[in-house]
Amino acid sequence: MRKLILSAIFLTTCAAFCQNTSRFDGTWNTTVTCEPKGGALGYTLHFVSTVSGGVLHGERGTKGQAAYLAIDGKIGDDGNAKLTASGNTASAAYTHAPIKTEGEEYSYEVKTQFTDTEGKGERSTGLGIVGRPCHWTFEKQAAEAPKP
């Protein structure tokens, strides 16, 4: 009987704390729009990101190749997230100084706020000397209905 009670307590506790899920878990349509700056052309990219256990990951392109982009980070219970965008530059026409070579690595932070269905974020431009404004949007896809 004692083992049965201890097992019930463990299962109840684990049900509350062992689940590694978040209300943000799911698939998100992701868009980043970076404004033109200093001779570099602006651009807009669309791709899909996933959130599992409150951790977001999305990528576009092939890792290590020109024009690759990844976005990663933890979304807090309150919806706040400091994500990291990283990748390899595309054509020099879209690249803002001081990086001007295709395929160079870069990274920057994206301060983001999520709700249950959407998110909006802005690139950290530091003092604005190097970075250019980039706007991020996330739109949660509807969950698929379970199959009978």
82: containing domain: 21-140
Give the CATH number of the domain where residue 56 resides: 2.40.160
Residue 124, domain member (yes or no): yes
Whether residue 81 lies inside any domain: the answer is yes
* pLDDT band for position 19 (cuts 50, 70, 90): low
Position 7 in a domain: no
45 HSE (CA, 13 A, CB side): 20
Sign, Cα dihedral of 8, 13, 15, 18? negative
Question: Over the stretch 120-141, which tens digit does the pLDDT of each residue have?
Answer: 999 997 766 567 899 999 999 9
Mean pLDDT over all residues of the chain?
Answer: 86
In a domain, 123, yes or no: yes
Q: What percent of the chain has pLDDT over 70?
A: 83
Whether the predicted pLDDT of 111 surpasses 60: yes
Domain membership flag for residue 45: yes
145 within some domain: no
Check residue 130 and give its pLDDT: 66
Pair of tokens at residue 34: 């970076």
Closest CA to 89 of 43, 47, 137: 43
Q: Let me know if residue 82 belongs to a domain.
A: yes
Q: What is the DSSP string of 3-67?
A: HHHHHHHHHHHHHHHT----TT-EEEEEEEEE--BTTBPPEEEEEEEEEETTEEEEEES-TTSTT
In total, how many domains does the chain have?
1
